[in-house]
């Protein structure tokens, strides 16, 4: 069975990567449809375990879809491809969904959203265009205590925020490329980086990186300060236990590199959710001081 599952995932990966254009060549018009077909195919295999959910609508008019796996009362979420060029994160999300279909996590419903930025994904570009034609970095488009490039200039990010609130999401993993690292809040423009839950977060990132051996720690210390990110927003606003996964070593990984990202991160994602508390954090306000000068450190490449 494991050999069969690996083969199915690899075939899906090759099919997806085959429509990504070489540098300088226009991308195929609708790679996202292949992602949708993959999710709907998973549901068709085991409809008693999985269902399609709609997160919201994008500015392109397309519905942002995800797959819900399991029927437990604790609701957790994986969201990938805030940045449309980070297709490695898409493939890890798809593989994680397939693994959950084989073995749902007891007591949980896990939502997996492989692509949030549909327009950027189809075009192979980081940014997403709003209905007025402006380009936005989706992972700088959320409210935050130290500001934002938005907030909510995009329908996709606003829809995801509503979904988190309406569904009562408890734990969340945001998948990106690349660093490689798995990190926790706070990650915005402040030197006051600690939350009341640093020790618990350290336990979660260690659980998530047993196979990958990725660097772990506070988001700002390991990567850089960035205002308006999803992972900070959901912890600050709701107390959602939120981790950022920066996967692999490239925004343009080969099929073999993507397979390795899947191999070392799918078990870590599962272990993270198995060890995430069953209720949201109670103390999630930011009480520190924002530092405007740190905004210049945001390279917009993660």
- Say what the pLDDT of residue 12 is: 53
Q: Which residues of the chain have pLDDT under 70?
A: 1-29
Domain assignment present for residue 302? The answer is: no
260 class by beta-carbon count within 10 Å (0-12 exposed, 13-18 middle, 19+ buried)? middle
Beta strand 74-80 with 108-113: parallel, antiparallel or unpaired?
Answer: parallel
Domain assignment present for residue 247? The answer is: yes
Domain assignment present for residue 279? The answer is: yes
Residue pLDDT, tens place only, 61-97: 999 999 999 999 999 999 999 999 999 999 999 999 9
Domain assignment present for residue 33? The answer is: yes
- Say what the pLDDT of residue 300 is: 87
Residue pLDDT, tens place only, 193-241: 999 999 999 999 999 999 999 999 999 999 999 999 999 999 999 999 9
- Say what the pLDDT of residue 277 is: 99
pTM over 0.85: yes
- Say what the pLDDT of residue 297 is: 87
Domain assignment present for residue 44? The answer is: yes
Domain that holds residue 92: 2-297
- Say what the pLDDT of residue 1 is: 38
CATH of the domain at 154: 3.40.630.10
Strand partners for 112: 67, 78
Please list, residue by residue across 16-32, b when 16 or more beta carbons sit within 10 angstroms of its beta carbon and e when fewer do: bbeeeeeeeeebeeebb
- Say what the pLDDT of residue 142 is: 98
């Amino acid at each position: 069975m494991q050999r069969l599952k690996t083969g199915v995932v690899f075939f899906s990966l090759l099919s997806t990567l085959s429509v990504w254009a070489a540098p300088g060549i226009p991308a195929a018009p609708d790679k996202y449809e292949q992602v949708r077909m993959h999710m709907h195919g998973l549901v068709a295999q085991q409809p008693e375990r999985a269902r399609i959910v709609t997160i919201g609508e994008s500015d392109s008019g397309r519905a942002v879809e995800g797959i819900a796996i399991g029927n437990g009362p604790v609701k957790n979420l994986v969201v990938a491809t805030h940045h449309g060029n980070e297709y490695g994160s898409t493939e890890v999300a798809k593989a994680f969904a397939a693994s959950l279909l084989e073995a749902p996590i007891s007591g949980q419903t896990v939502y997996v959203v492989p692509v949030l930025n549909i327009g950027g994904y189809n075009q192979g570009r980081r940014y997403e265009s709003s209905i007025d034609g402006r380009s936005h970095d989706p992972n700088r488009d959320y409210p935050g205590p130290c500001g934002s490039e938005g907030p909510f200039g995009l329908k996709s990010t606003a829809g995801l925020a509503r979904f988190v609130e309406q569904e009562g999401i408890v734990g969340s993993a945001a998948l990106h490329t690349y660093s490689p690292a798995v990190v926790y809040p706070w990650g915005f423009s402040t030197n006051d980086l600690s939350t009341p839950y640093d020790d618990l977060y350290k336990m979660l990132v260690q659980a998530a990186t047993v196979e990958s051996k990725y660097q772990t720690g506070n988001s700002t210390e390991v990567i850089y300060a960035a205002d308006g990110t999803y992972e900070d927003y959901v912890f600050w606003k709701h107390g959602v236990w939120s981790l950022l996964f920066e996967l692999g070593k490239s925004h343009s990984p080969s099929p073999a590199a993507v397979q390795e990202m899947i191999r070392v991160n799918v078990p870590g994602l599962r272990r993270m959710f198995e060890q995430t508390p069953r209720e949201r954090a109670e103390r999630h306000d930011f009480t520190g001081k924002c530092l405007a000068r740190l905004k210049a450190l945001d390279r917009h490449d993660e």
